[in-house]
């Protein structure tokens, strides 16, 4: 049986990705800020912006599974405020939840990945995020986009996917300055696409429309 390690497993997309993987007979290990929110899943807690917590979660995963076949980074946070009213602390926290978290997860979880394994990072259509009040979030997602693209080029031996998403109907949008856009995808469509990318070995930048 293949094993996947999902970071951000309690989020709308993390849960849907977990469900799609389980339907495909994949064993899922979950990491969430609060493992209590993940009843029924083999999981542990970590704040993904705190390096020793990410390292401990990866040690736990190594003890559970030895190595993993798929890593999924599905954590992040949206927040809105005009740039002039965004404090340095709020900016740092938002960038950490969206970008530092990916960096720490990659540093500590990639050593667990089977050499034939695959990493998937959820990204966004960064050029469509330039809305008033979303400056800090848009900058975080643009940073993540660039960060994954460089990772792909630096580590060509490993399959890595930046899966760019349009709007998806999750609780993320309760923190947006406007309602969920019409035509938003269902989280399960994203879960199924993650499984497809992995099964078909689709690496690089993949745009889900
Ligand atoms: N939904 C969309 O339309 C969409 C589109 C493009 C990209 N994305 C990206 O996809 C990712 C998942 O989004 P989603 O829609 O599933 O949002 P969500 O339902 O709000 O889930 C996000 C998850 O990330 C977790 N998280 C945030 N910061 C964390 C931290 N420091 N440590 C541990 N966990 C942390 C949250 O935990 P807590 O609840 O404990 O904070 C939450 O479980 C995000 O990066 C988002 O930006 C989403």
Q: How far is the CA of 75 from the centre of ligand 1 (A)?
A: 4
Q: Which atom of ligand 1 is nearest to the CA of 14?
A: 16
Phi first, then psi: what are they for 25, rounded to 5°? Answer: 65, 35
Cβ of residue 8 lying under 6 Å from some atom of ligand 1: yes
In this prediction, residue 38 carries a pLDDT of: 85
Q: State the sign of the Cα–Cα–Cα–Cα dihedral 164, 168, 171, 175.
A: positive
State the 10-residue block means of pLDDT for the chain, 209 residues long. Answer: 97 98 98 88 96 98 98 98 98 98 98 97 95 98 98 96 98 96 97 98 97
From CA 180, how far away is CA 176, in angstroms rounded? Answer: 8
Q: How many structural domains are present in the chain? A: 1
Q: How far is the CA of 95 from the centre of ligand 1 (A)?
A: 12
Q: Which residue do the tokens 């760019």 mark?
A: 164
From CA 136, how far away is CA 96, in angstroms rounded? Answer: 11
Q: Which atom of ligand 1 is nearest to the CA of 48?
A: 32
Say what the pTM is.
0.98
Cβ of residue 47 lying under 6 Å from some atom of ligand 1: yes
Cβ of residue 30 lying under 6 Å from some atom of ligand 1: no
Q: How far is the CA of 129 from the centre of ligand 1 (A)?
A: 16
Q: What CATH number corresponds to the domain at position 133?
A: 3.40.50.720
Cβ of residue 117 lying under 6 Å from some atom of ligand 1: no
In this prediction, residue 37 carries a pLDDT of: 83
- Please give the structure tokens belonging to residue 119: 């990493």
In this structure, the residue with its CA closest to atom 40 of ligand 1 is: 33
In this structure, the residue with its CA closest to atom 7 of ligand 1 is: 124
Provide the domain limits for residue 138.
Answer: 3-207
CB 72 within 8 A of CB 48: no
In this structure, the residue with its CA closest to atom 1 of ligand 1 is: 168
Buried b (16+ CB within 10 A) or exposed e, 56-72: ebbebbbeebeebbbbb
- Our mutation pick for probing the ligand 1 site, out of 11, 48, 147, counting the most ligand atoms within 8 A of Cβ, is 11
In this prediction, residue 101 carries a pLDDT of: 98
């Amino acid at each position: 049986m293949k094993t996947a390690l999902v970071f951000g497993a309690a989020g709308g997309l993390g849960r849907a990705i977990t469900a799609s993987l389980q339907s495909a007979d994949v064993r899922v290990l979950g990491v969430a800020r609060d493992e209590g929110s993940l009843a029924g899943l083999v999981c542990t807690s970590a704040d993904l912006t705190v390096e020793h917590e990410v390292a401990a979660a990866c040690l736990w995963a190594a003890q559970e599974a030895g190595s993993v076949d798929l890593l999924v980074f599905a954590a992040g946070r949206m927040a809105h405020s005009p740039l002039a009213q965004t404090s340095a602390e709020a900016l740092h926290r938002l960038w950490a939840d969206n970008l530092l978290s990916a960096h720490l997860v990659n540093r500590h979880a990639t050593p667990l990945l089977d050499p034939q394994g695959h990493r998937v990072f959820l990204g966004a259509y960064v050029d469509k995020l330039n809305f008033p009040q979303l400056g800090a979030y848009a900058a975080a997602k643009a940073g993540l986009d660039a960060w994954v693209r460089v990772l792909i080029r630096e580590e060509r031996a490993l399959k890595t996917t930046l899966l760019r998403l349009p709007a998806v109907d999750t609780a993320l949008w309760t923190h947006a300055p406007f309602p969920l856009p019409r035509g938003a995808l269902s989280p399960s469509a994203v879960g199924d696409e993650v499984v497809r990318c992995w099964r078909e070995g689709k690496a690089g930048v993949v745009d889900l429309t």
